[in-house]
Amino acid sequence: MADIPRREFMRSALAGGAALFLPRIARAASGFGGRARAALADSHIEILLDEPIGTIAPEVYGHFTEHLGGVIYDGVWVGTDSKVPNIGGIRKALVDAMRVIRPSVVRWPGGCFADSYDWRDGVGPSDQRPTRTNFWAGDPGLKDVAGGPAKYDTNAFGTSEFAHFCRLIGAQPYMAANVRTLPARVFDGWLEYCNAPAGATTWSKARAAAGDSAPYDIKYWGVGNEAWGCGGDFTPEEYAEEYRRFAGWGVPEFGVDLRFIASGPSGADVEWTRRLMGALRDRNSLDRVWGLSMHHYCSAPDAGADAVAFDERGWYDLLVSADRMETVIAAVWETMREADRTHRVKLVVDEWGAWHKSAPIVDPSHLFESQSTIRDALVTGLTLDIFHRNADKVAMANVAQLINCIHSLFFSHGDQFVATPSYHVFAMYAAHQGAQAVRTEVSAPRVGWAAKDGTRQSFWGLNGSASLVGRDLTLTVTNASLTEPRDAELVVRGGTVQAMRATTLAARSVHDVNSFAHPDVVVPVTADLTARELNGVYRFPPASVTKLAIRLG
Ligand code: AHR
């Protein structure tokens, strides 16, 4: 996003205010207040440059695309003969927007869909591919949709189309194998199609016929998905048996550093984690596990359940639910250690996001499509900050799902396309990728609200993370308070601040959304701070996500 003059930035930040169900947000410009206000700081942020946590894996900025509702068809894929601007059938607007945020990895084809998918249906000449019933065809949410690819998948989008999409946006593919309904032998064939040298096998010749003689060299492979549920209803021990078959002896490697990901727990299910890790160890399969997947969706009950029409309680309940990610990571990580003392196996949070119960949708074929407000942007910011603070544990994460679905970065329909507030957080946070996470201590007054039974609840007021590349320090902060700005004194231990650029995402009303007609309602604003301003206290507006790009002296 282009810089805007400081005066305009202040004016736009001053416009903050909530409508509909919520009290108006206290009017509060963001920015530095100078020495005079330092004594008035109510919060404190201390960045400890000499306390590194670990490198933030670029793969933490991963995405997820499933053959579900409008994610692939009407989302990623419009088809080669479409009037919608496309590159080989892939929506051009999506490619352009993704390039801006430097995506590292994209997971495909599911989700639950993966364990019903035969990759062989999606290769070869497009007009000869079979049409199959989609895994999600029976979902009650699709009841109004007579037909179309959300119910009956034409397989127009298959392995090569997905590889092209990843290449266009500069991301690595992360494939999920079908463990529930296909044998390991078929999975071996998929590895051949993707990674065998040109002309070596029948499958690599089929890939060449699709235009790609060079192998895709795909290294990330999920062995199933949610094996405890839609991925087969396995016990951990049964799944470990399957895992050994899929990832064990004889898997064709073709010189690629294959990284297998085992299907781990839903949230903090330590029982599944403990039994699976133990069963894999007992079968000598643990050294074939690169990552253990974990899924955590957040949600708010009652009046917080709608994506847009939430109340004060719904605001905080969702943030509390999202913030559980930190304790879930700690619990699963601690349990993994029982079988893997050195923590060679890392965590892969390959589904996360806010899953709202009800949500205004763009099109009824877009199953689970959920509008996105600044509340979802805060979920995005605080979750990415949690991943940074746990950079030594989390090796990959994939927000669910990229477009027209749960916690999406985009909505599209026909030739219409719009980016959500969560997309803007990804753009703001992109500088963290591959950087060294450093310990960041934040103290601020807690925020409070009334629970359904009237009891007072509380939550942190300000939180964030910092990372370093050379002399460039990135600090990202979320202010969870609906109404109160926070004046934070900023201390960088081990460095001096030379210059700073602030980018702030806030909304006029917390119910505001970006729509096809009005795409720029919730967008970030950027301002450079002068040397004089750098000596003071930074004001974080209420209900906001902020990035401070700091140049150290
Ligand atoms: O993201 C939607 C679904 O949620 C996925 O298919 C599944 O893995 C999870 O339960």
The DSSP line for 264-290 is: --BTT-HHHHHHHHHHHHHTT-GGG-S
Active-site pick, 242, 351, 484, 489: 351
Q: What is the mean pLDDT of the chain?
A: 92
Confidence of residue 6 (pLDDT cuts 50, 70, 90): very low
For residue 32, the model assigns a pLDDT of 60
Q: Which atom, in ligand 1's list, is nearest to the CA of 114?
A: 6
What are the two backbone dihedrals, phi and then psi, of residue 54, each rounded to the nearest 5 degrees? 155, 165
Which of 59, 161, 192, 226 does the annotation list as catalytic? Answer: 226
Residues 6+ apart with CB under 8 A from 36: 536
Instruction: Tell me the CB-side half-sphere exposure of residue 357, using CA atoms within 13 A.
Output: 12
Q: Are 116 and 180 within 8 A, CB to CB? A: yes
Residue 55 confidence (pLDDT): 98
Which contiguous run of DSSP H or E holds residue 328?
Answer: helix 325-336
List Cβ neighbours of 212 (8 Å cut-off, separation of 6 or more): 160, 163
The mean pLDDT value for 415-433 works out to 98
The CA-based dihedral angle spanning residues 379, 380, 382, 386, taken in that order and rounded to the nearest 10 degrees: 120
**Ligand 1 atom at minimal distance to the Cα of residue 225:** 8
Mean pLDDT of 374-389: 98
Pocket of ligand 1, candidates 63, 65, 66: which has the most ligand atoms within 8 Å of its Cβ, to mutate?
66
Q: Is 101:423 a contact under the CB 8 Å cutoff?
A: yes
Q: Ligand 1: distance of its center to the CA of 13 in Å?
A: 37
CA-nearest residue, atom 2 of ligand 1: 111
Confidence (pTM): 0.94
Which of 115, 230, 297 is the best mutation target for the ligand 1 pocket, counting ligand atoms within 8 Å of the beta carbon and taking the most? Answer: 230
In terms of DSSP H, where are the helices of 324-455?
325-336, 374-389, 421-429
At residue 295, φ and ψ (nearest 5 deg) are -115, 135
Residues 6+ apart with CB under 8 A from 335: 270, 273, 274, 277
Is residue 408 lining ligand 1, measured as CB closer than 6 Å? Answer: no
Q: Is 533 a catalytic residue?
A: no
Q: Pairing between strand 472-479 and 462-469?
A: antiparallel
In angstroms, the CA 211 to CA 185 distance is: 25
Ligand 1 pocket residue status of 66, Cβ below 6 Å: yes
Convert the pLDDT of each residue in 240-281 to its tens digit. 999 999 999 999 999 999 999 999 999 999 999 999 999 999
d(CA 270, CA 487): 39
Nearest residue (CA) to ligand 1, atom 8: 111
Tokens of 387: 């991943």
Amino acid identity for residue 147 in this structure: G
**Catalytic site includes residue 226:** yes
Please choose from 106, 108, 295, 369 the residue to mutate so as to test ligand 1's pocket, defined by most ligand atoms within 8 A of CB. 295
- Model confidence over 38-81: pLDDT tens digits? 567 899 999 999 999 999 999 999 999 999 999 999 999 999 99
Residue 126 has pLDDT above 70, yes or no: yes
Q: Which pLDDT score, from 0 to 100, does residue 147 have? A: 72
Is the Cβ atom of 377 under 6 angstroms away from ligand 1?
Answer: no
